[in-house]
Amino acid sequence: MPRIDLIGQDEATTVGDADGYYVIRRLSAEMAREIRDRHTKRIEPEAPGAFPREETDWHAVEIDQLDYVIQDWKVFSPDGTQAPCTRANKVALPSGERQAVLQAAGAMNLSGGLSNPLRPWKPTSKEAPAPA
């Protein structure tokens, strides 16, 4: 039987190489929802009988998610010095880098989540029986 590892809420991984890297933690569905809800407001309808709607500040959501996900890094400022890992510097990352980091953090959930801490079972051969 293959080894099965539990996935912790604050499990972190390093992405990048020796020239530059990010230490990121997983962005669980629960944390993503909590951050989204923090930046979503309910707008009451002006007309009687109309339904209320919600409005989300997606830029603020992205910034809070980055601040949560990135724990450490090796990133350089324009003058060539190593930039400190601060919220302000996380906001200054190029858009493509921000999206790549968030996608990597979300991809950590593909092998499990807080409500399902086991990674999916995969057979090691065609003859391997399914778990009972």
Q: Range of 57's domain? A: 12-44+52-111
Position 2 in a domain = no
Q: What is the DSSP string of the chain?
A: -----B--TT-EEEEEETTEEEEEE---HHHHHHHHHHTEEEE--SSTTPPPEEEE-HHHHHHHHHHHHEEEEEEE-TTSSEEP--HHHHHTS-HHHHHHHHHHHHHGGGG--SSS-BPPP--SSTTPPPP-
Q: What percent of the chain has pLDDT over 70?
A: 74
The count of structural domains within the chain is 1
User: What's the predicted TM-score (pTM) here?
Assistant: 0.69
Position 128 in a domain = no
Higher pLDDT among residues 68 and 104, named by residue? 68
Position 126 in a domain = no
**What is the phi/psi pair of residue 51, to 5°?**
-90, 145
Position 122 in a domain = no
Position 89 in a domain = yes
Quote the mean pLDDT of the chain.
78
How far apart CA 57 and CA 43 sit, in angstroms, is 13
Position 81 in a domain = yes
pLDDT in tens, 25-84: 888 888 899 999 999 999 888 888 889 899 999 999 999 999 999 999 988 888 989 999
Position 24 in a domain = yes
Q: What is the pLDDT of residue 120?
A: 35
Position 3 in a domain = no
